[in-house]
Every structure is written in structure tokens, then in C-alpha cells.
């Protein structure tokens, strides 16, 4: 199964291989940076229909037929008025260039929506359903807040911690550190291991002031 | 191929970000280079105290203007910065400390600042939680505190929105001069052509100055800080100690921030052993601060400490910053050496630096902070009539530049 996310890395791979197309399955999210790369390099987005993965997978090289098939499948979803939308075996000859353009435009519009949703971060947008997820439980910081800070250009874990307070609570990031790392890695399109962890701070567990001051348990 | 920039600001702390913001507001888009991340050093580790009390008198005009700016900073930046203006108590535990504070209060009143000395009963009226050892305090009602991370981030974000550029994770390694003038800044990633560079590198301000052949009497001072768990609001004032050894506040979040240099305990210093200078014992600083907190506010005794860190203060020999231009290296601008109390004047310094850069005409004179003081003495006369700190106008304000025109 293809991954549900597309980040810069995978686009860079496509560019490196000299390809000009990327297949996305339904529900795939493309990171804004990756989307920019797609646009910049004129890469075609092919909306891959579910049934195409698995046994029906066309042989390599049969891209154009994949494209047409995919378009056809797409069509059943987008409900073009003049077409018989239920007939999935319909001949591809029925599809005009105009339809292709129209559908491509829809896919792009949808992806744009996805992009604006991720940039402006409005409340409860259905295309970013996990944005309200609480990532740092001690300080109740949501994924939305963390993403907003990353997109403003803060690209280190220490930086995110300072601005959002995630990882500053009682557990000192023991719960959220891996989650925040993953979000940042996804946003930057790099592997989590490339990120420098937040600076470890004493004490490992909360210590009472009196104990810390050497005054013992009074 | 190298990039060009109208001005390169070295350092994305509060000074770099605020200057970039006020410049961008006027249409000049600066390029800020930061070696870690925004607020990665002092601006991201300080106590957030915004005070006029116990300041060097030369800094008073800046501090008083800064307070006015902080009052509406949330509107300027379009975000809450947790500014609390409920006064600053500098606590005294003995007659000597009372003496020090009384003198400082008298001096500051002369500058027009409203503040007073309180005896123990008056202190208790304002803050009922102080311990038995407190015999008095100075109180300046217009002082306060702020969340330093949010202020720095706010300036950064706003500056960026207005077109300033920020390169983080990139360090300046060299500044290129030609015929004595700044012509380029070289980083670990690229060369950027520019004829103006501002040194807002905090503790690295000395190293950056060295890059153009200048030196500063600056040395790092170690400062430790700790943060407790959250607690319902107890008191809103910024707390200080007469001798400045220890300070803190309850944050908008509810946790307590406490910081200090050595706490208030004598034993922290290694006693004058043979050949030893009496340096602080670093591993005792945290516990010593904790002791001071319990002495000053016994109610906090059972509170949990959850995090500690330390920071370096850019301490100047005369404890005031270096601001402005120098005729020795045209194109090089100082904005460093805030000696541990820079955050409080961050916004005003950003504004003044922008006025200096755009117009050679800061609205508050900054000649007291000029680089020339280290050579010519503090009372020397600045060559620039506009008090733009030892400027030779023609050499350094290249025809007021033509920035504003082509924007
Ligand atoms: C523990 C502590 C507590 C403090 N408490 C208070 C307080 O309560 N009230 C108050 O008013 N002040 C306080 N201060 C002082 C205050 O934090 C500083 O004066 C202020 O933040 C200075 O801001 P800055 O922008 O000049 O420096 P910084 O915030 O240090 O910024 C300088 C930046 O330059 C970057 N840099 C350095 N070298 C290079 C290079 N070669 N290339 C690129 N970038 C570089 C650094 O990474 C850094 O981010 C405190 C300081 C500390 C350490």
C-alpha cells in the first residue's frame, strides 16, 4: 500500500529518477513543501484508484492507461453530470481531453484546499481530522498548534518547546517528545533521526524545593 | 553566486528580531542569520523581568520608554505575550542591603521614576508571602514581567510577515572588509554581500567584533535558573534581591521561575585557598537558589522543581550595552553586551537601532553606549551631532542609503 503522506523526500526521489508523475491514492495528504515541489517541477498528480493496487496493477510502463483508468475511477467519485457514473467498465474513448483537464483541476483544487487548511489551520477542517489531537498532555498542546509554529519557520525541537510549551510540563516531554519529533520530521520531510532532541534538563523527576535545598523531609 | 542584502543582522535573539521588525515596518527588509533557532540563547532562557528599578542611570530613558512599549506590545505583535505590570519588589534582609537599595531609590527618583522604599509591614501588604527575614524592599509599581519566548517569537513572526528574511541553523564565520568597510558576511553555508552588518549576537558579540578587528571588554557570566510546577496565582510582582543575586516571578502559566548567579549563600564561594580566586561552585548554585527561595517565600517549600537550566550573560566591564556605529569600521553596528538585563529594554533597543539604521537619528540618544567609550573614556564627545554614537556621518550613513526609495 502506498503511504498516506507524501513529503518532500518522495518528490525529490521522483525528480532524481527523472519521472514526471506521482500516484496518489484516495485520502493521501501532500505536505505543502512537497506540493510546491510538485508544482515547480510540473509533476502530474495521478489519482490512483484503489482497485489498481494489488492484482490489477498494470505493468510498468503502461502509465497512460493507468492515468485513464484512474481518471475514470475519479470520475465516479466526482460525479460529472453528463457521464454514466456507475459504469466502471466504460470505454476510455468516452473521455475527452476536457474531462481530463476538469478532473485534474478538481484534484488540484482539492489538494490546494488541503494545503490552505494546513496553512491557515481553521477549526475542525474535515481534511485535517487529527489536528485537534492533544500531543502534549501535560500542557494540553494540540497538533494544530505545533504545526502552526513549525510552519512559521521554527524548525528545531527546542524551538517548538519554547514557543508552544509542549514538553515543559510535569513529565518533561517523556510522552510527547517522540510525537513532536515525528510531526516535525513529517513537516520537514526528513527522517526523525536527523533531528536533534530537546536538551535534557535536570532533574529527571520533580524534586521538592526543600529536598533540593538540602533541607530534607521536614 | 552570492546573495545580497541591504543589512545583515547577526543573531536571532530579541535584539535581532525586534530590530528586523521595526526595520520591516518601515520597509527595509533585513536578513537575519541565527546559528541555532529563534531565541536559542539568552532570549530563550531568561527570567522575563521588565524593570526600571536598580538600573544603571544611563539606561533609564530606554527602560522608561520600553515600559511604555510593553504596555501595548500585544497589539503591536498581534499576540498575547503574558505581560504583567504589577511592580518589582527588591527584597532586603539586612541593614546593609537596605542601605544599598535606599541609595539606588534616591538616585532613580531623580530621573523621574516613581518608586519607593517599603518597610516590612508595607511589603506584607503587597505580598503577604514573604518570609521572616525580609525587613524591607524597594517597590516600583510600573515594573513587571513578560514571557520572553513569546516576545522574541512575536517579533520574529511579525518581521517575517513584513518581509524580513531569517536564516536559522546558519552561523556567521567571517565578515569581509574592503578598504576598511564591510562588504560581505560569510556564513558556514554561503556568502552574502552587504555593506551593513549588525552585531546582535549576544554572548558571541565579542567574537563577532573580533571578526572586523575590534574588541570588547566583555566576558560571559554564568547564570542558573529553575522552574517549579504550576500553582494557583500567589503574587504578581517581579521579585528581586537587593544585591541582585537572585530573582524570580510566578509566570502567566502558574509555574514559578527563579534564577540567580550564586544564590545568597556565602559558602558557595570556594574560600580563598592558595592561589584560588574564589569562583562559585557551580553545582551548588541550584541548591543555593532553592535555599534562598525558601528563606524568602517559605510557602513554596513543598513545591516541586521540574526543570533547571543555565544561561550565559554578556557582561560588559561597565554593565551597560554597546550600541551604535563606529567610525573605525564603517558599516559595522553594535547591539550587544546587555549584561544580564537586556530583555526589559528589547523593544526599545530594536526601535532605536532601526531609527539609527534608517536615518542616523535615534529618537532617544544612545551615545552613552557608544563603542568609543572604551578608548576615549565615558565622557568623550561623540563626533555625531545626532548622538548616533560616534558616527562620521558621511562615512557610515551612506547618503542615508536609498533603501526607502526602491521599496
Ligand atoms: C538566565 C538568564 C536570565 C536573564 N534574566 C533576565 C531578566 O529577568 N530580565 C532581563 O531584562 N534580562 C535578563 N537576561 C538577559 C537577557 O536575556 C539578554 O540581555 C537578552 O536576551 C539579550 O538578547 P540578545 O538578542 O542580545 O542576545 P541573544 O538572545 O543571546 O541572541 C543572540 C543570538 O545570536 C546568535 N549567534 C551567536 N553567534 C552567532 C553567529 N556566529 N552566527 C549567527 N548567529 C549567532 C545566538 O545563537 C543567539 O541566538 C537574562 C539572561 C540570562 C542568561
| Predicted TM-score of the model (pTM) | 0.78
Q: Does any domain span residue A34? A: yes
- How far does the centroid of ligand 1 lie from the alpha carbon of residue B44, in Å? 7
Q: Assess if residue A63 is contained within a domain.
A: yes
What is d(CA B335, CA A74) in angstroms, rounded to the nearest whole number?
A: 59
Cell numbers for B74 = 500585544
Question: How far is Cα A77 from Cα A71, in angstroms, rounded to an integer?
Answer: 10
Q: Testing the interface with A: which of B147, B170, B302, B307 to mutate, by most A Cβ within 10 A?
A: B307
pLDDT in the model for residue A80: 38
- Which residue of A lies nearest to B227 if distances are taken between CA atoms? A168
- A81 with A165, same domain: the answer is no
CA distance B64 to A175: 43
Largest Cα separation within chain B, whole Å, is 69
pLDDT of residue B371: 87
pLDDT, tens only, A118-164: 444 444 455 677 888 999 999 999 999 999 999 999 999 999 999 99
The domain boundary residue, chosen from A120, A151, A170 = A120
Gap from B125 CA to chain A (nearest CA, Å): 26
pLDDT < 70 stretches in chain B: 1-2, 262-281, 378-407
User: Would you tell me the crossing angle of helices B148-161 and B346-359 to the nearest 10 degrees?
Assistant: 30
Nearest to B290 by CA among B258, B266, B261, B268: B258
Instruction: Give me the phi and psi of B17, to 5 degrees please.
Output: -70, -40
Residues A133 and A92 in one domain: no
Please tell me the distance in Å from B37's CA to the nearest CA on chain A: 6
A57, part of any domain:
yes
Give residue-wise pLDDT tens across range B255-310. 999 998 765 555 445 555 544 455 566 777 888 889 889 999 999 999 999 999 98
ipTM for the predicted complex: 0.87
**What are the cell numbers at A172?**
518533561
Residue A17 pLDDT class (50, 70, 90 cuts): confident
3-state secondary structure A52-94: HCCCCCCCCCCHHHHHHHHHHHHHHHHCCCCCCCCCCCCCHHH
CA of B40, closest atom in ligand 1: 49
Which of A120, A151, A175 finishes a domain?
A: A120
DSSP of A132-176, one letter per residue?
Answer: G-EEETTTTEEHHHHHHHHHTT--SHHHHHHHH-TT-STTTTTTH
Q: Is the pLDDT of residue A54 over 50?
A: no
- Do A9 and A31 belong to one domain? yes
User: On the CB side of B124, how many CA atoms lie within 13 Å of its CA?
Assistant: 8
Cβ within 8 Å, pair B305-A207: yes
Q: Is residue A146 part of a domain?
A: yes
Tell me: do A44 and A65 sit in the same domain. Answer: yes
Indicate the residue of B36, B37, B307 with minimum beta-carbon distance to A172.
B307
Whether the Cβ atoms of residue B385 and residue B378 lie closer than 8 Å to each other = no
A140 and A114 share one domain: no
Contact B304 A208 (CB under 8 A): yes
- B34 in Cβ contact with B19 (< 8 Å): no
CA–CA separation, B73 vs A108, rounded Å? 40
For every residue of B129-143, DSSP letters joined together read: T--TT--EEEEETT-
Grid cell of A74 as nine digits: 475519479
The SS3 of residue B311 is: strand
A93 or A183: whose pLDDT is higher? Answer: A183
Strand partners, B49: B145
**C-alpha of residue B344 to centroid of ligand 1, in Å:** 12
Count of domains in chain A?
Answer: 2
Give the per-residue pLDDT at B341.
Answer: 94
* Subunit contact A163:B153, Cβ cutoff 8 A: yes
Ligand 1 centre from B310 Cα, in Å? 12
Chain A hits for B304, CB-CB cut-off 8 Å, are: 170, 206-209
Q: Facing residues of B119 across strands?
A: B136
Domains annotated for chain B, with CATH where assigned, are: 3-48+149-217+318-400 (3.50.50.60), 88-141+222-315 (3.30.9.10)
Same domain, yes or no: A99 and A149? no
Interchain contact, B306 vs A206, CB within 8 Å: yes
Please name the residue that has the C-alpha cell 484534484. A107
Most distant CA pair in chain A, distance: 87
Q: Are A13 and A88 found together in one domain?
A: yes
Q: Is B362 on the interface with A (CB under 8 A)?
A: no
CA distance A195 to A157: 8
Centre of ligand 1 to C-alpha B57, Å, is 22
Give the best residue of A213, A214, A217, A218 to mutate against chain B (max B CB count within 10 A): A213
CATH code for the domain of A180: 1.10.10.1100
Q: Answer yes or no: is A217 within a domain.
A: no
A205: in domain:
no
Task: Among A65, A93, A120, give the residue marking a domain's end.
Answer: A120
A154: in domain: yes
| Same domain as A169, residue A80 | no
Nearest Cα to Cα of residue B242 among B85, B57, B105: B105
What's the mean pLDDT in A23-39?
Answer: 72
Q: What is the 3-state secondary structure (H, E, C) of B94-116?
A: CHHHHHHHHHHHHHHHCCCCCCE
Return the residue matching grid coordinates 481530463.
A100
User: Which has more confidence, B407 or A179?
Assistant: A179
Whether A18 and A116 map to the same domain: the answer is: yes
A60 with A101, same domain: the answer is yes
The reply to whether A216 falls in a domain is: no
| Statement to judge: residues A40 and A83 lie in one domain | yes
Expressed as residue numbers, the domain containing A146 is: 129-194
Name the residue with cell 520600553.
B66
Three-class secondary structure of residue A98 per DSSP: helix
> With an 8 Å Cβ cutoff, are A212 and B301 in contact?
no
Residue pair B239/B54 in contact (Cβ under 8 Å)? The answer is no
Question: Among A169, A201, A210, whose Cβ lies nearest the Cβ of B294?
Answer: A210
Considering the domain architecture, whether residues A116 and A133 belong to the same structural domain is answered as no
Amino acid at each position: 500500500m502506498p503511504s498516506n503522506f507524501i513529503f518532500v523526500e518522495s518528490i525529490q526521489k521522483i525528480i532524481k529518477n527523472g519521472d514526471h508523475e506521482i500516484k496518489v491514492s484516495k485520502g493521501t495528504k501532500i505536505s505543502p513543501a512537497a506540493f510546491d515541489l510538485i508544482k515547480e517541477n510540473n509533476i502530474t498528480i495521478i489519482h490512483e484508484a484503489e482497485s489498481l493496487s494489488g492484482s490489477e496493477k498494470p505493468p510498468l510502463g503502461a502509465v497512460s492507461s493507468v492515468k485513464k483508468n484512474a481518471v475514470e475511477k475519479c470520475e465516479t467519485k466526482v460525479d460529472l453530470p453528463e457521464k454514466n457514473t456507475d459504469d466502471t467498465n466504460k470505454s476510455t474513448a468516452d473521455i475527452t481531453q476536457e474531462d481530463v483537464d476538469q478532473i485534474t483541476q478538481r484534484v488540484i483544487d482539492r489538494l490546494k484546499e488541503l494545503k490552505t487548511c494546513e496553512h491557515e489551520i481553521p477549526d475542525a477542517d474535515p481534511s485535517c481530522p487529527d489536528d485537534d489531537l492533544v500531543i502534549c498532555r501535560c500542557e494540553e498542546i494540540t497538533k494544530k498548534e505545533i504545526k502552526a509554529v513549525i510552519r512559521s519557520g521554527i524548525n528545531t525541537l527546542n524551538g517548538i518547546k519554547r514557543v508552544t510549551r509542549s514538553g515543559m510540563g510535569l513529565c518533561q516531554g517523556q510522552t510527547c517528545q517522540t510525537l513532536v519529533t515525528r510531526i516535525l520530521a513529517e513537516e520537514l520531510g526528513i527522517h526523525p533521526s536527523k533531528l536533534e532532541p530537546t536538551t535534557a534538563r535536570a532533574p529527571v523527576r520533580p524534586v521538592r524545593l526543600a529536598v533540593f535545598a538540602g533541607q530534607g523531609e521536614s | 553566486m552570492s546573495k545580497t542584502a541591504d543589512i545583515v543582522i547577526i543573531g536571532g535573539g530579541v535584539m535581532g528580531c525586534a530590530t528586523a521588525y521595526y526595520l520591516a515596518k518601515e520597509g527595509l527588509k533585513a536578513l537575519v542569520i541565527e546559528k541555532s533557532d529563534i531565541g536559542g540563547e539568552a532570549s530563550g532562557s531568561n527570567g522575563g523581568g521588565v524593570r526600571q528599578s536598580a538600573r544603571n542611570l544611563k539606561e533609564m530613558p530606554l527602560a522608561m520608554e520600553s515600559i511604555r512599549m510593553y504596555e501595548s506590545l500585544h497589539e503591536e505583535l498581534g499576540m498575547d505575550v503574558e505581560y504583567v505590570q504589577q511592580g518589582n519588589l527588591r527584597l532586603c534582609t539586612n541593614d546593609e542591603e537596605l542601605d544599598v537599595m535606599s541609595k539606588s531609590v534616591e538616585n532613580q527618583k531623580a530621573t523621574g521614576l516613581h518608586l519607593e522604599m517599603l518597610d516590612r509591614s508595607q511589603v506584607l501588604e503587597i505580598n503577604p508571602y514573604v518570609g521572616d527575614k525580609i525587613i524591607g524592599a524597594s517597590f516600583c509599581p510600573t515594573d513587571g514581567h513578560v514571557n520572553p519566548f513569546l516576545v522574541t517569537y512575536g517579533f520574529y513572526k511579525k518581521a517575517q510577515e513584513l518581509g524580513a528574511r531569517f536564516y536559522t541553523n546558519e552561523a556567521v564565520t567571517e565578515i569581509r572588509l574592503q578598504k576598511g568597510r564591510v562588504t560581505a558576511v560569510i556564513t558556514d553555508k554561503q556568502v552574502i554581500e552587504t555593506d551593513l552588518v549588525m552585531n546582535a549576537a549576544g554572548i558571541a558579540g565579542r567574537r563577532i567584533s573580533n571578526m572586523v578587528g575590534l574588541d570588547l571588554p566583555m566576558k560571559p557570566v554564568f547564570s542558573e535558573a529553575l522552574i517549579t510546577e504550576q500553582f494557583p496565582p500567589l503574587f504578581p510582582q517581579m521579585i528581586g534581591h537587593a544585591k541582585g543575586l537572585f530573582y524570580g516571578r510566578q509566570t502567566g502559566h502558574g509555574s514559578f521561575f527563579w534564577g540567580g548567579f550564586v544564590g545568597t549563600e556565602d559558602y558557595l564561594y570556594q574560600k580563598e585557598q592558595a592561589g584560588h580566586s574564589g569562583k562559585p561552585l557551580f553545582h551548588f548554585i541550584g541548591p543555593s537558589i532553592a535555599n534562598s527561595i525558601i528563606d524568602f517565600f517559605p510557602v513554596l517549600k513543598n513545591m516541586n522543581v521540574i526543570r533547571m537550566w543555565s544561561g550565559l550573560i554578556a557582561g560588559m566591564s561597565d554593565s551597560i550595552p554597546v550600541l551604535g556605529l563606529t567610525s573605525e569600521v564603517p558599516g559595522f553596528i553594535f547591539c550587544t553586551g546587555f549584561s544580564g538585563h537586556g530583555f526589559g529594554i528589547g523593544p526599545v533597543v530594536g526601535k532605536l537601532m532601526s531609527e539609527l539604521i534608517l536615518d542616523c537619528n535615534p529618537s532617544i540618544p544612545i551615545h552613552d553606549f557608544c563603542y568609543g567609550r572604551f578608548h576615549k573614556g565615558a565622557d568623550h564627545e561623540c563626533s555625531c551631532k545626532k548622538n548616533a554614537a560616534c558616527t562620521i556621518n558621511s562615512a557610515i550613513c551612506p547618503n542615508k542609503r536609498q533603501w526607502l526609495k526602491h521599496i
